[in-house]
């Protein structure tokens, strides 16, 4: 399973140029292993605590999720939405892990509308 299978739902967006940009850092020896180790230790393991801490703050939160996200499934976004009282969960159809790229216009409109509220 790779980038094509997990992160991007709209396969027509997966051009050579896109791959060159997003995989540039992976071409450095051991960078992928080191990066994943850091993410798992410093992000994924602490995510639950961070979400609960954020839930205690009185801030507006917009969660935007790609319905076809295979990296972090929609159920995780729905759980975050449940924990973050008053948050807004927007689900973008036909998008995977990077809806801001796959459905840029829709994402941007959601973000602008949210910021205007």
Domain membership of residue 62 as a residue range: 3-116
CATH number at residue 109: 3.40.50.1820
> Is residue 62 within 8 Å of 99, Cβ to Cβ?
no
**Structure-block tokens of residue 50:** 């961070």
- Read off the pLDDT of each residue in 54-75 and give the average, rounded to a whole number: 90
pLDDT in tens, 18-35: 878 777 776 777 776 666
> Is residue 66 within 8 Å of 92, Cβ to Cβ?
yes
Question: Which one is catalytic: 9, 52, 81, 97?
Answer: 97
Count how many domains the chain has: 1
Task: Identify which has the larger pLDDT, 41 or 58.
Answer: 58
At 44, is the pLDDT very low, low, confident or very high (cuts 50, 70, 90)?
very low
**Is 97 labeled as catalytic in the residue annotation?**
yes
Phi-psi label, residue 86: left if phi above 0, alpha if psi -120 to 50, beta otherwise: left
């Amino acid at each position: 399973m790779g980038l094509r299978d997990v992160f991007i739902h709209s396969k027509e967006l997966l051009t050579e140029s896109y791959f060159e940009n997003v995989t540039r850092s992976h071409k450095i020896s051991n960078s992928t292993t080191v990066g994943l180790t850091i993410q798992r230790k410093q992000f994924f393991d602490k995510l639950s605590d961070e979400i609960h801490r954020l839930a205690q703050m009185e801030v507006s939160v917009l969660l935007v999720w790609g319905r076809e996200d295979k990296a972090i499934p929609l159920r995780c976004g729905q759980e975050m939405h449940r924990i973050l009282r008053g948050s807004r969960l927007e689900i973008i159809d036909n998008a995977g892990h990077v809806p801001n790229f796959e459905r840029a216009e829709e994402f941007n409109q959601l973000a602008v509308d949210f910021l205007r509220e």
